[in-house]
């Protein structure tokens, strides 16, 4: 998220050849029953009713147990429940409330109407977690490593009137985190079931295949992750089929105001969705194209067919999802719009491809998105964003934060690595994660050199694409590429011991 206004063979004969051919075909089909590349599949039939602002969905999940443990139940995040009346965690900070709810407070939720096993018999489930944020389904039988199970979940998501990831506003209807998504299982820890928080992006998910059909009124235009494979219109309804393979999450946006401009960079179609009448459509498209080209060169190929950059009503600066990013329509200065576009597109590598626990280790994806934005502007002088000034401003901004907090609270907590719920205020989160993240990676560059730093980041993308990286694994990659441990460096920053001067 952008919080500030300102992402072998040797031929051994016919038999061996045939075997290789079979393996090749299986890999193309995404054979998913065994091995560490196995992944789950979400097949969804969705229907949106604009009169009631409800999304009715039936979702079949083929879940593959890629862990070394046996499961008897499977938990899913129910993020929309954070938007319900009486939720324990507000979805926006007090400071952002008025802007988020222009028509007064409004509520949404997700109702699970049924859960069925593969034989269509009703499954046992409960809504639980710290804040009704978890759907826990008792499995029909024990699920052992490398086995898969199928569940069919029916739900109704009610959208609140809010300028947020999930909600309808004046210009767009945003469907972020609208469906039950399975919790990430971590060896030795268990399933990660953290509830929503207004600080940051409280999400953590694994790559899966998505096959989605969405029915909606034909006067809407749709922007989405994945790629549209079919679009049919019947009477006044559109039915759009979408395929998104090996993506970390699925998001879409509907609007009656969209005007789309597109450009192809090799196999990737870059789509910018602005509003009809906007004069900066081509400018925003150019920024998006430049960012995608720069980051592909810097970090490796973007392995999907399309990326959509979508203007939308959104309380923060922007928000990243796989193949789709939201850019707030409240930002008016082109420089600020460019900044957010670049930041969100960097997340396609740092979050989209290389996943991390955004709840506990937000400094990885946000720090790198900020640092990537700096690298972008250093390579594109035409954007008139002074890179040196970006660093100087970050240092000044952090020092001011320290000064003010010390004065008000007597001390300041500068630790970067803590759960989102442990940041006392949104500014504290922004300063410790974004600002300090940028300064830390710039300082690392000074220490090991830009070449080594970029080599390491490229190495991480190669090694961890479609996976999740822990903070220990992330730090270890620097030892791999730099030939010496960087643990002391990272720990002193993450623990807040480094004094910024
Ligand atoms: Zn971000």
**Sequence spans of domains, the chain:** 377-494
Question: Do residues 153 and 77 make contact, with C-beta atoms less than 8 angstroms apart?
Answer: no
Distance 347 CA to ligand 1 centre (A): 7
Mark the ranges of the chain whose per-residue pLDDT is less than 70. Answer: 3-36
Query: What is the C-alpha to C-alpha distance for residues 226 and 304, in angstroms, rounded to an integer?
Result: 8
Q: How far is the CA of 340 from the centre of ligand 1 (A)?
A: 9
Ranges of beta strands (E only) in 313-453 are 318-321, 324-328, 354-355
Distance 187 CA to ligand 1 centre (A): 27
Three-class secondary structure of residue 42 per DSSP: strand
Residues 6+ apart with CB under 8 A from 362: 200, 201, 420, 429, 433
Model pLDDT, residue 120: 96
Q: Ligand 1 centroid vs 288 CA: distance in angstroms? A: 15
- C-alpha of residue 331 to centroid of ligand 1, in Å: 16
Q: Exposed, middle or buried, 154 (CB in 10 Å: 0-12/13-18/19+)?
A: middle
Q: How far is the CA of 18 from the centre of ligand 1 (A)?
A: 46
> DSSP letters along 71-94, please?
EEEEEEE-GGGGGSTT-SS-SS-G
Interval between CA 164 and ligand 1 midpoint (Å): 15
Ligand 1: centre distance to CA 306 (Å) = 20
What contacts 228, CB < 8 A, 6 or more positions away?
Answer: 222, 240, 241, 242
């Amino acid at each position: 998220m952008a919080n500030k206004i300102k992402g072998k063979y040797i031929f051994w004969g016919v038999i061996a050849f045939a075997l290789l051919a079979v393996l090749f075909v299986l890999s193309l089909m995404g054979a998913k029953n065994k091995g560490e590349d196995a992944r789950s599949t979400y097949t969804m039939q969705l229907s949106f009713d604009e009169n009631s602002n409800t999304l009715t969905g039936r979702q079949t999940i083929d879940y593959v147990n890629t862990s070394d443990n046996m499961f008897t139940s499977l938990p899913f995040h129910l993020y929309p429940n954070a938007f319900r009346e009486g939720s324990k965690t507000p979805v926006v900070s007090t400071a952002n409330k008025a802007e988020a709810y222009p028509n007064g407070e409004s509520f949404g939720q997700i109702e699970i109407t049924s859960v069925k096993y593969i034989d269509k018999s009703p499954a046992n489930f409960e809504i639980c977690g710290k804040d009704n944020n978890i759907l826990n389904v008792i499995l029909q039988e024990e699920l052992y490593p490398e086995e898969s199970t199928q569940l069919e979940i029916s739900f109704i998501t009610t959208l609140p009137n809010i300028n947020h990831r999930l909600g309808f506003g004046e210009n767009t209807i945003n469907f972020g985190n609208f469906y039950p998504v399975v919790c990430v299982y971590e060896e030795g820890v268990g399933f990660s079931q953290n509830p929503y928080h207004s600080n940051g992006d409280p999400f953590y998910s694994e790559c899966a295949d998505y096959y989605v059909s969405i029915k909606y009124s034909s006067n809407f235009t749709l922007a989405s992750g994945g790629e549209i494979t079919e679009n049919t219109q019947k009477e006044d309804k559109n039915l759009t089929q979408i395929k998104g393979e090996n993506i970390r999450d699925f998001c879409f946006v509907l609007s009656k105001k969209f005007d789309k401009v597109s450009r192809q960079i090799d196999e990737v179609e870059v789509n910018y969705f602005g509003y009809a009448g906007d004069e900066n459509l081509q400018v925003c498209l150019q920024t998006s194209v430049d960012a995608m080209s720069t980051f592909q060169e810097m970090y490796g190929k973007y392995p999907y067919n399309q990326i959509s950059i979508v203007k939308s009503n959104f309380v923060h600066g922007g928000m990243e999802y796989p193949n789709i990013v939201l850019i707030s329509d409240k930002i008016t200065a082109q420089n600020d719009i460019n900044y957010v576009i670049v930041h969100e597109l960097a997340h396609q590598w740092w979050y989209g491809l290389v996943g991390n626990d955004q709840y506990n280790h937000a400094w990885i994806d946000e720090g790198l998105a900020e640092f990537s934005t700096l690298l972008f502007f250093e390579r594109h002088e035409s954007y008139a964003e002074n890179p040196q000034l970006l660093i100087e401003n970050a240092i000044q901004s952090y020092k001011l934060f320290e000064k003010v907090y010390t004065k008000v609270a007597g001390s300041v907590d500068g630790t970067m690595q803590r759960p989102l719920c442990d940041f006392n205020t949104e500014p504290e989160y922004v300063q410790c994660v974004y600002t300090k993240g940028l300064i830390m990676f710039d300082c690392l560059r000074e220490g090991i050199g830009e070449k080594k730093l970029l080599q390491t980041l490229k190495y991480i993308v190669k090694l961890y694409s479609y996976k999740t990286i822990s903070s220990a694994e992330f730090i270890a990659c620097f030892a791999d590429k730099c030939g010496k441990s960087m643990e002391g460096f990272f720990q002193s920053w993450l623990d807040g011991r480094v004094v910024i001067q």
